[in-house]
Amino acid sequence: FQDNRAMNSLEYLIANTHTLSDASIMDALAALTSSPNLGNHEEEYDMEVNSDDEMKIDLSALINPSVFNALQLPIGTGRFPNPSPPRPNSGTNTPIRKTPGSRPDRGKFTILDGTEVAGPEEVLNVDFNSDILQKIFCDPKLGIQFLARYGLIPNTRVCRVQDCPKDQLMSLIKHANGFVWRCRSCRKRREKRIITKISVYEGTFLFYSRMPLNKFFIFMLIWCENPGLSITEYNRLMGENRLVEETIYNTIGFMRDIIQNWCDTIIASNVPIGGPHRIVEVVETLSTEQLSNKTRNRRTRHYTTRTVFVSLADDKIKSVDFPLHNVHDLERALLECVQPGSIVVMRDSYMERFGQQEEISNALFNHYKVKSICDVWPDFNEQERSKQFIKTEMNQVPNVNQEPYAYEYFFRRCFSDKCFNHLLRVIRLLYQK
C-alpha cells in the first residue's frame, strides 16, 4: 500500500509540475522520501551492477590456458597456426633488450645461404643441359642462387648513397618483379629522390634483358653447341621455349659482343703474334662499335670492318681497325701484328683482293710467306682440321658476310669443349673488371 502511494505521488508530481505551487511540490517530495522501500530498491540496483563475481569467474575460465589445451585441433590445418607452448616463468622480469643495439639486425644480406661463391674455373666442372637449366631458372630463388654461386651476379650489395654509412649492406627482399636489394638506412630516412631498391641484376649482363632466364640460358647453351644453325633449326631445338626471329638475332649479337669484348680487353696480344714457320690466318670481319651491355637490338648496333690475325699454333689473336684494300695495306697490317718469318694464310677468295698469289708473295718476300688454306691443308692435323671446319659450319648462316663472326670463330677454336661453360666464365671475368 505504501509502495502504491509513493508511485501515485510520483505520477501526480510529474503530470502537474507546471500547475503546482512551491509548497505543494515540497509536500510531494517529502512523501516520496518517507517511503521505506525506495532505499531498498537503490541498494538492490547497486548490487546488481557492482557485484560482478560471476562475470569474473566466466572470464577466468576463458583466459585459463587449460581451456585451450583441452581443445583438440587438427595439426597443420585451420586458418590460424597452433598456439605455441607456454614459456617457463623464471620469476624475474628479464628485459627484452639489455643494452641498446644488442638485437641483431633483421634481414638477409647475402643470396647464398652458407655457401661460398665459386672460383672462376669451377663452372667448367659442371655438366649443363637444357633440362638442368630449365629446373634451375623455373624457381626464381634457385635461379639467383645459381647466378650468385658462379659469380654472374653479386652475392652481396653495398649501398652507394653518399649519406649511408660506409660499407652499409643492403637487404635481399622479395619484390613483385623478383628479388631486389633494399637499403634500410635510406628507407628509414624517407628522403625523396633516393632509390632505396635496386635489382639483383643491376650492373650485370642480365640487367637489360627482357627474356625469361630459362629461355635465355637454354638458347645460349644451344647456340654454343650448334654453330651456324638457321632460325628454324634453333627453334626446333628450343622446343616449347621457342623464340621469335628478332629475339634470336639480338641474343646472338649480344653473345658475339661479349666474345669481342673478351678478345679486345683480356685475350688480345700486346705484341706481334706468330713467329718463324708458324701459321697466322688472316680473316676480315665486321665488329661492333662502342660495345655496351645496353645495346641489345641489332638495329641500333653500328658495325665497322676489321682485319683479324689468328695464330693457329697457340690460339693468339690480334687485329687492326682499318680495312685492307691492296697489298700495301696488307703489308702495313702484317708488320703491326705479325712477327717476321711467319706463314700467312688466307682464303683464295680473300687473296684475290690483293692480286695473284705470286705477286703477293713477291711483295712480302722479305718478311713473310703467303699461302692459301688449300696449300697448307695437308699439313694440318685432325684437331686443326676440326677447328677449320667451324668456319664451314658458320658460313651456312644466311648473309654471313653481314655478320661479325671472326671473334666467334676464334672463341670456338679455343673452347671447342664445354663452350657454354667457358662463355659463363668469360662473362664473369668481364663484369668483375
For residue 298, what is its C-alpha cell? 641489332
Query: What is the rounded distance in angstroms from the CA atom of residue 222 to the CA atom of residue 224?
Result: 5
pLDDT exceeds 70 at position 9: no
Q: For 136-153, how does the pLDDT look when each residue is reduced to its tens digit (9 = 90+)?
A: 999 989 999 999 999 999
Query: What is the rounded distance in angstroms from the CA atom of residue 288 to the CA atom of residue 263?
Result: 12
Q: What is the mean pLDDT of residues 379-391?
A: 93
Q: What is the mean pLDDT of residues 171-175?
A: 87
Q: Which amino acid, 337? A: C
Number of C-beta neighbours around residue 3 at 10 A: 12
More confident residue, 251 or 160: 251
Q: How confident is the model at residue 43 (pLDDT cuts 50, 70, 90)?
A: very low
Q: What is the mean pLDDT of residues 204-217?
A: 90
1, 35 in Cβ contact below 8 A?
Answer: no
Percent of the chain clearing pLDDT 90 (strictly above): 43
For residue 365, what is its C-alpha cell? 718476300
Q: So what's the pLDDT on residue 39? A: 46
Q: How confident is the model at residue 40 (pLDDT cuts 50, 70, 90)?
A: very low
- Ordered by start, the domain boundaries in the chain are 106-207, 213-432
Phi, psi of 426 (to 5 degrees): -65, -40
CA dihedral 317, 321, 325, 330 (to 10 degrees): -40
pLDDT exceeds 60 at position 219: yes
**Which secondary-structure segment (H or E) carries 344?**
strand 343-346
Q: So what's the pLDDT on residue 368? A: 95
Instruction: Report DSSP state, residue 400.
Output: G
Please, what sign has the CA dihedral across residues 198, 202, 203, 209? Answer: negative
Q: For 77-122, how does the pLDDT look when each residue is reduced to its tens digit (9 = 90+)?
A: 444 444 445 555 545 454 444 344 333 345 688 898 777 899 999 9
Q: How confident is the model at residue 53 (pLDDT cuts 50, 70, 90)?
A: very low
Among residues 244, 277, 247, the alpha carbon closest in space to that of 371 is found at: 277
Instruction: Report DSSP state, residue 338.
Output: B
Sheet containing 369-372: which strands, arranged edge to edge? 316-320, 303-311, 279-288, 343-346, 369-372
Q: For 272-316, how does the pLDDT look when each residue is reduced to its tens digit (9 = 90+)?
A: 999 999 999 999 988 888 665 444 444 567 888 899 999 999 999
Query: What is the rounded distance in angstroms from the CA atom of residue 215 to the CA atom of residue 234?
Result: 12
Question: Taking every pair of C-alpha atoms in the chain, what is the biggest distance, in angstroms?
Answer: 150
Q: For 331-352, how does the pLDDT look when each residue is reduced to its tens digit (9 = 90+)?
A: 999 999 999 999 999 999 899 9
Q: So what's the pLDDT on residue 400? A: 61
Please, what sign has the CA dihedral across residues 106, 108, 114, 119? Answer: negative
318, 273 in Cβ contact below 8 A?
Answer: yes
Q: So what's the pLDDT on residue 58? A: 36
pLDDT exceeds 80 at position 37: no
Among residues 236, 216, 213, the alpha carbon closest in space to that of 224 is found at: 216
> Which of 19-28, 179-188, 200-209 is the least confident region?
19-28
Q: So what's the pLDDT on residue 94? A: 45
Q: So what's the pLDDT on residue 294? A: 46
Q: So what's the pLDDT on residue 29? A: 58
Helix (H, G, I), strand (E, B) or coil at 93: coil
Alpha-carbon separation of residue 387 from 87, 296, 345, 394 (angstroms): 72, 29, 15, 12
- Each residue of 192-221: b (16+ CB within 10 Å) or e? eeeebbbbbbeebbbeebebebbbbbbbbb
Q: For 386-420, how does the pLDDT look when each residue is reduced to its tens digit (9 = 90+)?
A: 999 998 888 877 666 667 789 999 999 999 899 99
275, 368 in Cβ contact below 8 A?
Answer: no
Percent of the chain clearing pLDDT 70 (strictly above): 69
pLDDT exceeds 60 at position 226: yes
Query: What is the rounded distance in angstroms from the CA atom of residue 260 to the CA atom of residue 418?
Result: 19
308, 317 in Cβ contact below 8 A?
Answer: yes
Query: What is the rounded distance in angstroms from the CA atom of residue 110 to the CA atom of residue 379?
Result: 54
Residue pointed to by grid coordinates 679455343: 414
What is the distance of C-alpha 410 from the center of its chain?
29
Q: So what's the pLDDT on residue 23? A: 62
pLDDT exceeds 70 at position 372: yes
Cα-based angle 188, 192, 198 (whole degrees, multiple of 5): 70
Q: So what's the pLDDT on residue 113? A: 78
Q: How confident is the model at residue 428 (pLDDT cuts 50, 70, 90)?
A: very high
Q: How confident is the model at residue 133 (pLDDT cuts 50, 70, 90)?
A: very high
Mean of pLDDT over the chain: 78
Q: What is the mean pLDDT of residues 255-265?
A: 91
Q: So what's the pLDDT on residue 12? A: 56
Helices (H) and strands (E) in the chain, counts: 18, 8
Sheet containing 178-182: which strands, arranged edge to edge? 171-175, 178-182, 197-199
Q: Which residues pair with 190 in a beta bridge?
A: none
